[in-house]
Amino acid sequence: NVTTDPEALRRRAADALLAARRRTTLLTSCVEGPELTAQHSPLMSPLVWDLAHIGNQEEQWLLRAVAGRAAMRPEIDPLYDAFEHPRAERPSLPLLAPQEARGYAAEVRGRALDILDSASFEADGAERLTRSGFAFGMIAQHEQQHDETMLITHQLRAGAAALTAPDPERPARPFDGPAEVLVPGGPFTMGTTAEPWALDNERPAHARFVPAFRIDTTPVTNSAYMEFIADGGYRNTRWWSPAGWAMVRDHGFEAPQFWRREAGQWLRRRFGVTEVVPPDEPVLHVSWYEADAYARWAGRRLPTEAEWEKAARFDPASGRSTRYPWGDADPTPDHANLGQRHLRPAVAGSYPLGASPLGVRQLIGDVWEWTSSDFLPYPGFVAYPYREYSEVFFGPDHKVLRGGSFAVDAVACRGTFRNWDLPIRRQIFSGFRTARDADAQEAS
C-alpha cells in the first residue's frame, strides 16, 4: 500500500513542503508585525521565532545534513535552538525581524527544492535520512508541528479574531450508537517499521499483548464534562491524583482553559470570539490531570497508549494493524477533522467513514487524546536522526497524547503517531476518551 515509486515519493515530498509553507504563511501574515514579535504567553514563542526556527531546521537537515552545504548564517543557529533558549527567554533574543525571517525561510526553501530535484528516492537503503525522502518528510512534519504550535499562540493572543474557517458539517442526526466498544484481548502489532515518514519514536513494529478492554466510542463531550464540574468535580480531592490536586489548588482551576461562567451558562473564548460552550463537541483544553480526575469520577480510567493504538489500528477480521482506523488509505476530509480546515472539533459521533472496524469514532483528528502512559521508547528504539527529537523526553515527566487534533496536518498524524506533553499542559488542543477493563468473562 505504501508506494515506493521514486517520482511519486518526490512529488509527495514537494507537495507536503508546499502545503506546510502555505499554512505557515497564513499564520504569520494574518496579524500585524508587532503581533509577530510579541510574546502572547510565557508558554509560547513569538510567532516570528517559530518562522525562523522552521527555516533553520530545514537548513540544518536538508541543506547541511542531506546535501552537505555550508551554514548560510551560522551565527543564528543558537537563537533558534529550542534547547538553548526556553520559550520564556525567546522574546529578549536578537531574533530576525519578520521580513528577514520570511526572506531567510524562503531562501532555504528555494535551495531545498533544488536538492529535492536530484535527491535519491530509492527505498533500498537502511539510511533513512538520505534515501526514500525521509528527511523531506521529517521537515514537512516539523513545519506542520510548528503550524499547530503557532495556532496555539493564536488561541492565546488577546484581541479580535485574526483567523476564520468554516465550521465542520453537523451530522444529520445525533450519534446514537453504543457509548463504548469492547476490544478483544490478545496480541497486536504496535508501532511501525514500514511507514516511510514515521518518526523514530514510532519505531519499530513490535507485538504487544493487550487484555480485553472497553473504550468510549467518541471523545468525552463538553456536556459530560459539565456534569463533572456541576457535581463539584474540581472541589473534591477524591477524584484527583496528588499532583493534580496541587495543580487545582495552586491555579484555582474550575473548568477547562478559556471557559468562563456567566449568567448561568458556560462561555468560552475561541480564536478571539466568545461563544456558548457547545454541549456536543469533544471537550478541549484540559490537562492530563483533569482528564485523569474526570475518568475516576466517571468510574473509569484513561486508556493506556497500547489500548488506544489497538482500538485505532487492530482489525479483528485480519488480525493486522492498519495505518489508520478506517484502513490504509491516506486521510480525506470524509475521514477526519485535520489540517486546520476547521478551527474547532466536530461534534462527537461525526465522521462515520473514519470509524475503526469495531466502530470507534474520531480517533484521528478533532482533539489530541490523553492516555495514561508515560512517554517511553519501544523495544528496539534507535534515536534518529538526533537524540533531541524524542529521546531526551522519554521518562515519567511526559504523558502520551494520541490521534491528532483539528490543528494538525495529516502529514504529522497517523495511527502510530505519538505526541507528548507535561501533565499540567492545557493550552494544547487536548481532550480525551475513557476506558475500563472488560468484565472477567469477556477477558480472553
H or E element in which residue 188 lies: strand 186-190
What is the SS3 assignment for 60-119?
HHHHHHHCCCCCCCHHHHHHHCCCCCCHHHHHHCCCCCHHHHHHHHHHHHHHHHHHHHHC
CB of 395 to ligand AVJ, least distance (A): 14
Orientation of helix 47-58 relative to helix 6-27, angle to 10°: 160
CB of 419 to ligand AVJ, least distance (A): 5
Cα 84 from Cα 254, distance rounded (Å): 35
Instruction: Rule CB under 6 A: say whether 145 interacts with ligand AVJ.
Output: yes
Q: Is 90 annotated as a binding residue?
A: yes
CB of 288 to ligand AVJ, least distance (A): 14
Orientation of helix 98-118 relative to helix 47-58, angle to 10°: 30
User: Is the distance from CB of 44 to CB of 156 less than 8 angstroms?
Assistant: yes
Q: Is 426 annotated as a binding residue?
A: no
Count the residues of the shown chain that bind ligand AVJ, applying the rule CB under 6 A.
Answer: 5
Instruction: Rule CB under 6 A: say whether 266 interacts with ligand AVJ.
Output: no
Contact segment (CB under 6 A) with ligand AVJ among 69-77, 141-149, 354-362, 434-442 equals 141-149
Nearer to ligand AVJ, 153 or 217 (CB): 153
Report the relative pairing of strands 368-375 and 213-216 from DSSP bridges.
Answer: unpaired
Neighbours of 246 (CB within 10 A): 13
Interface positions, 146-185, toward ligand AVJ (CB under 6 A): 149
Instruction: Rule CB under 6 A: say whether 142 interacts with ligand AVJ.
Output: yes
Instruction: Rule CB under 6 A: say whether 420 interacts with ligand AVJ.
Output: yes
CB of 389 to ligand AVJ, least distance (A): 6
Strand partners, 401: 370, 419
Q: Is 10 annotated as a binding residue?
A: no
Q: Is 414 annotated as a binding residue?
A: no
Helix, strand, coil shares of the chain as percentages rounded to 5?
35, 15, 50
CB of 144 to ligand AVJ, least distance (A): 10
Q: Is 425 annotated as a binding residue?
A: yes
User: Is the distance from CB of 120 to CB of 180 less than 8 angstroms?
Assistant: no
Give Cα separations from 394 to 148, 208, 383, 397 (angstroms).
22, 19, 11, 8
Closest-by-Cβ residue to ligand AVJ is 145
Nearer to ligand AVJ, 138 or 435 (CB): 138
Instruction: Rule CB under 6 A: say whether 322 interacts with ligand AVJ.
Output: no
Nearer to ligand AVJ, 151 or 224 (CB): 151
Contact segment (CB under 6 A) with ligand AVJ among 36-44, 124-132, 142-150, 288-296 equals 142-150
CB of 169 to ligand AVJ, least distance (A): 28
User: Is the distance from CB of 410 to CB of 333 less than 8 angstroms?
Assistant: no
Nearer to ligand AVJ, 144 or 362 (CB): 144
CB of 149 to ligand AVJ, least distance (A): 5
Cα 76 from Cα 48, distance rounded (Å): 14
Instruction: Rule CB under 6 A: say whether 405 interacts with ligand AVJ.
Output: no
Cα 31 from Cα 15, distance rounded (Å): 26
Q: Is 87 annotated as a binding residue?
A: yes
- The residues that touch ligand AVJ, with contacts defined as CB under 6 A, are 142, 145, 149, 419-420
Going by the annotation, the residues of the binding site for gamma-L-glutamyl-L-cysteine are 87-90, 421, 425
Going by the annotation, the residues of the binding site for Fe cation are 53, 142, 146
